[in-house]
Amino acid sequence: MQSEAIDTFEASARRQRVLYTRNHPYAATVLVNRLLTGPASEKETRHLELSLGRPGIQYLPGDSAGVIPENRSEAVEEVLRLMGFTGDEPVTDFYGGALDLRKALTSWLMIGKLSSSTVRGWAKLTGNAELTALVLPKNKKNFEDFLWGREFPDLVEQYAVKLGDPQQMFKLLPRLSPRLYSISSSQALYPDTMHVSVRVVRYESYGRKRQGVCSGQLGERTPEGAVLPIFIHSNQLFRLPADMDAPVVMVGPGTGVAPFRAYLEHKEAGCGRWPMWLFFGEQRASQDFLYQDELLAWQKNGVLQRLDTAFSRDQKVKIYVQQRIREQSAELWRWLEQGAYFYVCGDSQRMAPDVEAAVLEAVAVHSGKGAEYAAEYLARMNKQKRYLKDVY
């Protein structure tokens, strides 16, 4: 009976998901927007709960929420001022719909992170020799350095030019794209809501305070009661095992824990019996232990069989999740030999490769067959879809 119920739930989710897309999003009401990190944390991580209503939309653990962001009004007004427009000028969007320039800059065009195509187009418009030289292939490294930390208003201010036709903005600026956030809840446990975990990006560059386009919006411009346009991004490659008794090992530092919270809720709701092991890492246990109470409760009641944490700033020598994997390598090998599925979510640049190196080392050592065998073993896991990554 349990298997039939799960099959019905997943079939319904597949049908409902196609109703809402990037171009036809669902208007979700924000029920909760609370800070997860402590007051002394160096990071700002938030937990949002969105009402899906009835019939609403449906999702599965491993899916992501696509959020349609808006640019900050201050940034929009700055662009209008620098370009010499009022904002009331009529334009048409990428699909021929009529709107004014202010709305276009708010909801349609990317004025935050500066794109290479925008700079190339701007170089042609201005005819500026310095900018024209910068975009040449031989200056690739300097061009990349120029793009980092700059936004469209910086470009306009530094290399001023007046556009006669505001419609040109649609040729110069890329479309403002949705942002994807791993869903951190199971709809089997919360039928009418969806949870997401968001780290708010803030930094300073070139004398200006910056923030992530979408994370900044969710952090300070999306109070409870606000409406967010969303859709479901299906991730068939990050699903829980069909075998409900297969062990599951999860590595999710920071907001990488989000999909694994959904996995644990799915198990708590009775959708599977998977033995579960979580590696979680952050900076400080007192400030950054995301979902601490829930994780400890799941460990206590047996939903979570093992929990290993790595708080990098709580001692002189920084400790990360890959060190914990090495410390528990013998037990990890035992789980893998029992058919465990291994999941990694989070940073693709350093964390994911370091974790993979630790897994390879564990296999090489505890199999007794060395590095070449470990590489073959991991290749088999990948082929069997037992080593799964959702990294960014």
d(CA 250, CA 79): 44
Joined together, the tokens standing for residue 258 give: 């989000």
Domains and CATH numbers, the chain: 2-69+179-234 (2.40.30.10), 73-172 (1.20.990.10), 237-391 (3.40.50.80)
pLDDT, one tens digit per residue, over 97-120 is 999 999 999 999 999 999 999 999
* pLDDT at residue 179, as a whole number: 97
d(CA 96, CA 170) in angstroms, rounded, equals 11
Q: What is the mean pLDDT of residues 65-90?
A: 96
The predicted pLDDT at position 26 comes to 93
Question: Residue range 122-132: average pLDDT?
Answer: 95
Q: What is the pLDDT of residues 183-199, one digit of tens each?
A: 999 999 999 999 999 99
Residue 53: predicted pLDDT: 81
Residue 11 has pLDDT above 60, yes or no: no
Does pLDDT of 86 surpass 90?
yes
Q: What is the pLDDT of residue 18?
A: 55
Say what percent of the chain tops pLDDT 70: 95
pLDDT level of residue 349 (50, 70, 90 thresholds): very high
d(CA 375, CA 12): 39
Indicate the DSSP class of residue 114. P
Q: What is the mean pLDDT of residues 296-301?
A: 98
Which has more pLDDT, 7 or 69?
Answer: 69
Kindly report the number of other CB atoms within 10 A of residue 108's CB atom: 21
Would you say 185 and 195 are in contact if contact means Cβ atoms under 8 Å apart? yes
Q: Quick one: pLDDT band at residue 164, thresholds 50, 70, 90?
A: confident
Closest CA to 351 of 258, 251, 235: 251
User: What gap in Å lies between CA 86 and CA 99, rounded to an integer?
Assistant: 14
Q: Please work out, in degrees rounded to the nearest 5, the angle formed at the alpha carbon of residue 197 by the alpha carbons of 193 and 203.
A: 145
Contact between 170 and 94 (Cβ < 8 Å): yes
Query: What's residue 130's pLDDT?
Result: 95
Confidence class for position 70, pLDDT limits 50, 70, 90: very high
Determine how many CB atoms are found less than 10 A away from the CB of residue 179.
18
Q: Which residue has the tokens 């110069």?
A: 172
Return the pLDDT at 1: 41
Lowest mean pLDDT among 7-16, 60-69, 172-181, 215-224: 7-16
User: With 60 as the cut, is the pLDDT of residue 204 above it?
Assistant: yes
Average pLDDT over residues 333-355: 98
54 has a pLDDT exceeding 90? no
Low-confidence winner among 14-28, 87-101, 109-123, 378-392 (lowest mean pLDDT): 14-28
Report the phi/psi class of residue 25: left, alpha or beta, with left for phi > 0 and alpha for psi in -120 to 50: beta
**DSSP state at residue 243:** S
Pick the closest to residue 94 from 170, 173, 176, 22 (CA basis): 170
pLDDT reported for residue 14: 56
Residue with the two structure tokens 């061009």: 143
Q: State residue 184's pLDDT score.
A: 98
In whole angstroms, give the CA distance from residue 344 to residue 124.
43
Q: What's the pLDDT score for residue 10?
A: 58
Those residues whose C-beta lies under 8 Å from the C-beta of residue 355, and which sit 6 or more positions away, are: 251, 321, 322, 325, 344
Please report, for the chain, how many H helices and E strands are present, in that order. Answer: 16, 15
Q: Is the pLDDT of residue 8 over 70?
A: no
- Those residues whose C-beta lies under 8 Å from the C-beta of residue 322, and which sit 6 or more positions away, are 351, 354, 355, 357, 358
For residue 115, with 0-12 CB atoms within 10 Å meaning exposed, 13-18 middle and 19 or more buried, which class applies? middle
Cα–Cα distance for residue pair 290/93, rounded to 1 Å? 40
Each residue's pLDDT tens digit, 227-268: 999 999 999 999 999 999 999 999 999 999 999 999 999 999
The pLDDT of residue 90 is: 97
What's the mean per-residue pLDDT of the chain?
94
Q: What percent of the chain has pLDDT over 90?
A: 91
